[in-house]
Amino acid sequence: MDGEVIEWRGPAPYLFLPLDPEDSDLLAASPELSYGWGCVAAEVTVGATTFSTSLMPRQGDYLVPLKVVVQRAERLGVGDRVRARVRVRGRRS
C-alpha cells in the first residue's frame, strides 16, 4: 500500500499511515479478525523496518501506527509518502 503519514492527537501525539478505503472496508467486514475495540494485529514493513503493531479503527478507516523507532529508522514525518507492506495476523489469543 502507499499512503501519506498523518498525525493524530489522541491520548498522545502519534504518526499513522491510513489504510486504503478498500482495505479498511475489508477489515471492517471481517470482525472475527479483531481482538477487541476493532483493533487487528498486523505485521508491517516500511522500508527496511518490519514491526508488529495493531491496526486501529478511526472514523470508518483503519490506521497503521508508526512507532517512534520506525519513524527514526526510516526518517518519517508528517506528510511523507510511504510504501508499506501490511500483513494481517488475525486475532490475538
pLDDT at 91 over 70: no
The 10s digit of each residue's pLDDT in 44-68 is 999 999 999 999 999 889 999 999 9
Averaged pLDDT score across all residues of the chain: 88
Whether residue 5 contacts residue 18, with contact meaning beta carbons closer than 8 Å, is answered with no
Query: pTM of the full predicted structure?
Result: 0.84
**CA-wise closest residue to 71 among 82, 61, 62, 63:** 82
Contact 16, 5 (CB under 8 A): yes
Q: Which domains does the chain show, CATH number per domain?
A: 2-90 (2.40.30.100)
Do 85 and 75 meet the contact criterion of CB atoms below 8 Å apart? no
Residue 16 pLDDT greater than 80, yes or no: yes
pLDDT band at 10 (very low <50, low <70, confident <90, very high): low
For residue 30, pLDDT beyond 60: yes
